[in-house]
């Protein structure tokens, strides 16, 4: 009787490599990206008929893979590849959606994605997420960072609704609004106020209002009760009102 030897998938190494990478082993991060490169290529190949060079899609998909590596939560209990797939799809679809009227260089797209991923990571762990800090961590100037982010900002139609719940308000009705500069200042002031919150409260804000998780989901991630999350939200709102007043 022949002995059947079960072949292990290279993806079986994902979680061990990810833990090692999170502990500071850069080689494990490189190995993790290498093992999952075929996954990126497989997803990119589904859209190959829509581009001249599939390498653009592979590069965007790889950015999604890097995001997955940086944001994967072991407590969710799912396979890393399962978590990574929607992020890889998302980056590729975003590229296909935005790569149209205005042509942006591959380097600017890559840099913009890295900047956004680094800022999201910093927000999650409570580190400074202003453009100067994020740019410095990637070894580029704030000016180059701003240029990359501006170049890759999605194009929006003037007929697009500004608010999902208000069908009558379109971009064309507010694009010439003289109060736009004031609103921009308000957004920057809000961001600075959030960055002054304690680390745990910053994480709560990110999970609740940037990732749109429920209170119970946030409670599980932060090791709190749902009641505690609700109370913390009230404290945060009170603090932000004080900081912004």
| pLDDT score for 170 | 47
> CB of 76 within 8 A of CB of 126?
no
| pLDDT score for 137 | 86
pLDDT tens-digit readout, 108-121: 778 888 888 888 88
Please, which pLDDT band fits residue 165 given cuts at 50, 70 and 90? Answer: very low
Please, which pLDDT band fits residue 155 given cuts at 50, 70 and 90? Answer: very low
31: containing domain = 7-99
- Check whether 133 has a pLDDT greater than 60: yes
User: Is 175 contained in some domain?
Assistant: no
User: Is 158 contained in some domain?
Assistant: no
CATH of the domain at 62: 1.20.120.1810
| CA dihedral sign, ordered 222, 225, 231, 237 | positive
Among residues 51, 79, 99, the one where a domain terminates is 99
User: Is 82 contained in some domain?
Assistant: yes
CATH of the domain at 234: 1.10.10
| pLDDT score for 180 | 45
User: Is 204 contained in some domain?
Assistant: yes
Residue with tokens 């580190």: 127
> CB of 34 within 8 A of CB of 79?
no
> CB of 54 within 8 A of CB of 48?
yes
Among residues 73, 99, 125, the one where a domain terminates is 99
User: Is 23 contained in some domain?
Assistant: yes
User: Is 128 contained in some domain?
Assistant: no
Average pLDDT over all residues of the chain: 75
pLDDT tens-digit readout, 29-47: 889 989 999 989 988 888 7
Overall number of domains in the chain: 2
More confident residue, 97 or 240: 240
Question: What pTM does this model have?
Answer: 0.41
User: Is 134 contained in some domain?
Assistant: no
Among residues 99, 127, 156, the one where a domain terminates is 99
User: Is 126 contained in some domain?
Assistant: no
Terminal CA-to-CA distance of the chain, rounded, Å?
79
| pLDDT score for 9 | 62
Other Cβ atoms closer than 10 A to 100: 9
């Amino acid at each position: 009787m022949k002995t059947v030897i079960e072949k292990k998938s290279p993806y079986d190494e994902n979680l061990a490599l990810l833990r090692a990478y999170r502990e500071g082993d850069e080689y494990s991060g490189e190995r993790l990206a290498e093992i999952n490169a075929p996954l990126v290529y497989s997803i990119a190949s589904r859209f190959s008929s829509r581009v001249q060079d599939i390498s653009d899609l592979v590069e965007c998909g790889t950015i999604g893979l890097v995001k997955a590596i940086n944001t994967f939560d072991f407590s969710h209990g799912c396979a890393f590849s399962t978590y990574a797939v929607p992020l890889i799809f998302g980056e590729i679809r975003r590229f296909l959606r935005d790569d149209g009227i205005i042509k942006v260089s591959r380097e600017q797209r890559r840099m913009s994605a890295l900047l956004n991923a680094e800022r999201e990571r910093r927000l999650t762990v409570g580190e400074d997420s202003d453009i100067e800090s994020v740019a410095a961590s990637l070894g580029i100037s704030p000016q180059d960072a701003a240029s990359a982010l501006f170049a890759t900002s999605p194009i929006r139609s003037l007929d697009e609704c500004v608010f999902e719940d208000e069908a009558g308000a379109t971009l064309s009705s507010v694009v010439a609004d003289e109060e736009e500069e004031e609103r921009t200042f308000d957004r920057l002031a809000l961001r600075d106020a959030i960055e002054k919150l304690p680390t745990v409260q910053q994480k709560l804000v990110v999970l609740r209002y940037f990732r749109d998780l429920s209170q119970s989901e946030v409670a599980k991630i932060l090791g709190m009760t749902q009641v505690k999350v609700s109370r913390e939200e009230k404290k945060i709102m009170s603090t932000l009102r004080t900081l912004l007043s």
